Amino acid sequence: MKEIKVLALVCLMFMGFGSIKSYAHCEIPCGIYNDEARVKMMYEHIQTIEKSMKLIIELSAVEKPDYNQLIRWVNNKEEHANKLQAIATQYFMFQRVKLSDDPVMKAKSMKQLELLHKICVYAMKAKQSTDMEMIKKLNNTVHGFDHAYFIKEEHKH
C-alpha cells in the first residue's frame, strides 16, 4: 500500500512538471546567440502590433463590430507586445548586456539598458491603447538600441 502511495505521488509530480511552460532562450551560457535575428524579431513584433492596432480601430468603427475579431486582434497585439518585452528583458537585459566596472563599458551598457527599458515601457503602452505614436516610439527606440548595441569593432559573441 505504501508503494502505491509513493508511485501515485511520483506520477502526480511528473504530471505537474509536464504543465510547466518553457520559453526560449536559455539562461545558461550555451553560446548559441543570434543578436541580429533578435533585433529583426523586435521589428517584426512592432509591425504586428501596428497591424493589430489598425484593425482594432477599423473593426471598432463599424456600426456592428465583430467582437470575436476585435478580441482576437487585441489578444494578438498583447501577445506580440509581450514577446517584444521578453526579447528586451529575457534575452538582451539578462543575458547580453554585460555588467562591467570599466567606465567606458559601463556607459555603453547604461545606454543600452535605458533603451531596452524604453522598449518595455512603450510596448506596455501599446498594450493599453491603439495610439500609433507608440509604434513610432518603438521603432525609433529599437533603431537606437540597434545602433548602440552593434558597434562593429567592439561587438563580440
List, for residues 38-93, the tens digit of each pLDDT value: 999 999 999 999 999 999 999 999 999 999 999 999 999 999 999 999 999 999 99
Cell numbers linked to 89: 528583458
Do 153 and 47 touch, CB atoms closer than 8 A?
A: no
pTM above 0.85, yes or no: no
* The pLDDT of residue 19: 45
What CATH number is given to the structural domain containing 44? 1.20.120
Residue 110 belongs to some domain of the structure: yes
Question: How far is residue 29 from each of residues 32, 34, 71, measured CA to CA in Å?
Answer: 8, 14, 39
Domain range for 117 is 35-149
Structural domain includes residue 7: no
Q: How far apart are CA 57 and CA 70, in angstroms?
A: 9
